[in-house]
Chains A and B, each alone.
Chain A
Amino acid sequence: MVQWSDFERATIQDIFSKIDSGVVGPAALSRCLIVYPWTQRYFGSFGNLYNADAITSNPKVAAHGKVVLAGLEKAVKNMDDIKTTYKDLSVLHSEKLHVDPDNFNLLSDCLTIVVASQMGEAFTADVQAAFQKFLAVVVASLRKQYH
């Protein structure tokens, strides 16, 4: 089971209470589609993804960004058993969506960068470490049901 220090626990709760989820989700997903364009392979039905402006203003991307953030908030509420919380989500990503799990790390990096730019100086090295540990646990849980 994952061990969270008091600092890590408090930091994750604090980050998610402070960030604007309506902004961070869409920003992170659109950044991922721009910086790592091969991730667009999973979004064939989203319409115009031809350039950075199209991606950033695409309403389906924005809507899906919010879905992703909502999923993360579920993990924040269940930090002591993210693995079980994400069991169905893991099956979904593997069996239905067929997402290469290495892509989870790409989105994680974009989330880190978007949260960093939102929080500015408050995103210290220790806060970054806690956030990246949280994302690593999320990614591991999403990978768990792949076979």
Chain B
Amino acid sequence: MTHLTAKDKETVKTFWAKISSNGAAIGADALSRMLVVYPQTKTYFSHWKDLSPGSAPVKKHGATVMSGVADAVAKIDDLTAGLLSLSELHAFTLRVDPSNFKILSHNILVVLAIMFPTDFTPEVHVAMDKFLAAVARALSEKYR
């Protein structure tokens, strides 16, 4: 289902170049939203003191997640190979149920719509949605 065309990759890289300096803020907001709108996701963060939107651990982790996304943009031509160690991390150490990748992706898209209402056109939206789905699939590779 997720095959990134040359146009998709170009659209993602161009859009990413525009927004990458906001990476940490995007990640923090997306993660904050996910924890509020999908409370079941809090189960993965029971070791954090503060799960409220914009808290220190949420901000820090949001930045970590988005630097992973930035890495994926750079490796967009071979996500499976490029995200191998991240996939192993999620599969064997974190053991995040892959359904949650879709949930976080949705929240990233919502944040992009809020922060970049004119740039986040339907064409950019479909390319980013496909890209995040491809990232999710690459992250799920090592699960079983």
Interface residues of A, Cβ cutoff 8 Å to B: 30-31, 34-35, 52, 55-56, 109, 112-114, 116-121, 123-126, 128-129, 132
Q: Are A129 and B36 in contact (CB under 8 A)?
A: yes
Given contacts A113-B113, A116-B114, A117-B117, contact A125 B125 (CB under 8 A): no
Q: Are A123 and B123 in contact (CB under 8 A)?
A: no
Closest Cβ of chain A to B113, distance in Å, is 4
- Report Cα–Cα, A97/B110, bound state, in Å: 30
Q: Are B123 and A120 in contact (CB under 8 A)?
A: no
B80 interface residue per 8 A CB criterion: no
Given contacts A128-B33, A129-B36, A129-B37, contact A123 B125 (CB under 8 A): no
- Report Cα–Cα, A128/B39, bound state, in Å: 13
| Nearest 5 Cβ contacts at the A-B interface | A125-B36, A117-B117, A34-B122, A117-B113, A35-B126
- Report Cα–Cα, A116/B121, bound state, in Å: 13
Given contacts A129-B36, A132-B37, contact A121 B126 (CB under 8 A): no
Given contacts A120-B114, A120-B117, A129-B37, contact A113 B125 (CB under 8 A): yes
Q: Are B113 and A34 in contact (CB under 8 A)?
A: no
B32 interface residue per 8 A CB criterion: yes
B residues 22-64 touching A (CB-CB < 8 Å): 32-33, 35-37, 53
Closest Cβ of chain B to A1, distance in Å, is 21
Closest Cβ of chain A to B108, distance in Å, is 11
> CB-CB < 8 A to B65: which residues of A?
none
Count of chain B residues near A, Cβ 8 A: 19
Interface residues of B, Cβ cutoff 8 Å to A: 32-33, 35-37, 53, 106, 109-110, 113-114, 117, 120-123, 125-126, 129
Closest Cβ of chain B to A5, distance in Å, is 14
> CB-CB < 8 A to B110: which residues of A?
112-113, 116, 123, 128
> CB-CB < 8 A to A30: which residues of B?
122
| 13 sample A-B contacts, Cβ–Cβ < 8 Å, listed by A number | A34-B125, A34-B126, A35-B125, A35-B126, A52-B121, A113-B113, A117-B117, A117-B120, A124-B53, A125-B32, A125-B33, A128-B36, A128-B110
* From A56, A112, A117, A124, residue with most partner B Cβ within 10 Å: A117
Q: Are B123 and A128 in contact (CB under 8 A)?
A: no
- Report Cα–Cα, A129/B114, bound state, in Å: 15
Closest Cβ of chain A to B140, distance in Å, is 20
Closest Cβ of chain A to B119, distance in Å, is 10
Question: Which single residue of chain B is at the shortest CB-CB distance from A121?
Answer: B114
Partner among A56, A123, A132 whose Cβ is within 8 Å of the Cβ of B114:
A123
> CB-CB < 8 A to B113: which residues of A?
113-114, 116-117
> CB-CB < 8 A to B32: which residues of A?
125
- Report Cα–Cα, A116/B29, bound state, in Å: 13
